[in-house]
Amino acid sequence: MSAAYLNGEYKPLDECQVSVLDRGFIFGDAVYELIPFYIKKAFRLEAHLARLKRSLAEIRINNPQTDEQWQAIIERLISQHDEANGYVYIQVSRGVARRDHAFPKDTAATVFAMLGAWPALIDGALDKGLSVVTVDDIRWNRCDVKSTSLLANVLMKQKALESDAHEAIMIREGKVLEGSATNTFVVHQGTVFTAAKDNLILPGITRDVVVELINTLALPFVEQAASLQQLQEADEVWLTSSTKECLAITEVDGQPVANGQPGPLWHQVYAAFQLQK
C-alpha cells in the first residue's frame, strides 16, 4: 500500500482514517492540490504551493503548514514512491466538528496527502488526439478556488464518458471556459485563445506552462475565451492538466477538428513541454 500522510503522521494509505464528521466529507468544505513529479522531482512546486495557499485563504482556512513543511511532506512521499514519476495529492479540510454550516471554533484543519501513480497515456492520445463533448457550465462562481466540491465536474465528466468522449468542455454564455478537469486552448485562424484567469476557471499550472511556451515560440495568442462558434471552426484544440500535460483534441461533439489530426502548433507546444520536465 502506498505511503500517505495524515495530520502529522506518515502511514500506509489504507491505515489513514478520517471521521465521518470531517467537514470535507459532510460539506465538501476543503481544498486540494495535485503536484506532479518527474524523475523524483516535484514539477512547478512553487506555483502549486502558491495556488494551495490562495485556495486556503479564499475559503478562510489558516494554512496549517509553512512552505518548508509542505515541501518536506511532498519530498518525503515522493522518495517513498516506487516509480520515478507520479503525483502527490494534498487535501486540507476545515476539520472535524458537529454538523453545522457555520465555521466551527478552534477546530484543527485535517491535513492529508497521498501518492498517485502516473496515469497511463490514453490509447492513441498522441497520434490521434482526444474527443470532447460541450456541456453547459453548471458550476458556482468561484471556479478559481481548487475546492473538493466537484459534483458538477463529476457529472460533466461522466456525461463525456457516456458519450464515448474523453472530456467535457464547459460553455458559459457562449464562451469556451475549460474542461471538467483540464484547461482548454482553441486555435482559430492561426491565433491561440484561452480563457483569462478569473473567477470562472481554475488557474491551471499546466495552462501557465503552455502560455509560457506559446510566448517563447512566438505564436499569436490572446488570453480570452474563444466563442462556441470559434471552437466549432477551430484549426486546433488542446487540453492541459498536471497529469495529461498538453494533448490535442481532434473531435468536438462528434465532428472532427479541422482535418481530425493533431495540428502543427500542438506538435510544437508538445515537444517544447517535454523539454520542461
Ligand X SMILES: Cc1ncc(COP(=O)(O)O)c(C=O)c1O
Residue 134 lies near ligand X (rule: CB under 6 A) = no
Site for ligand X in 24-53 (CB under 6 A): 34
Spatial separation of the C-alpha atoms in residues 144 and 160, rounded to whole Å: 22
Q: Which of 240, 248, 266, 270 binds ligand X (CB under 6 A)?
A: 240
146 is catalytic: yes
Q: Residues binding ligand X: what is the number (CB under 6 A)?
A: 14
Compute the least distance from the CB of residue 99 to ligand X, in Å: 27
Residue 86 lies near ligand X (rule: CB under 6 A) = no
Indicate the residue among 96 and 182 with the shorter CB distance to ligand X. Answer: 182
Question: E strands within the chain?
Answer: 3-6, 9-12, 30-38, 41-42, 86-93, 110-117, 130-136, 167-172, 175-179, 183-188, 191-194, 221-222, 236-241, 245-252, 255-256
Site for ligand X in 155-194 (CB under 6 A): 178, 181-183
What cell numbers appear for 77 in the block?
512521499
CB atoms closer than 10 angstroms to residue 110? 22
Spatial separation of the C-alpha atoms in residues 66 and 52, rounded to whole Å: 11
Q: Which stretch binds ligand X (CB under 6 A): 21-29, 110-118, 128-136, 198-206?
A: 198-206
Residue 91 lies near ligand X (rule: CB under 6 A) = no
Q: Which of 96, 109, 207, 228 binds ligand X (CB under 6 A)?
A: 207
Residue 241 lies near ligand X (rule: CB under 6 A) = yes
Indicate the residue among 55 and 230 with the shorter CB distance to ligand X. Answer: 55
Q: Can you tell me whether residue 52 is helix, strand or coil? A: helix
Q: Can you tell me whether residue 271 is helix, strand or coil? A: helix
Dihedral angle over CA of 135, 136, 140, 144, nearest 10: 50
Site of interaction with ligand X (CB under 6 A): 34, 153, 178, 181-183, 202, 204-207, 240-242
Active site residues: 146
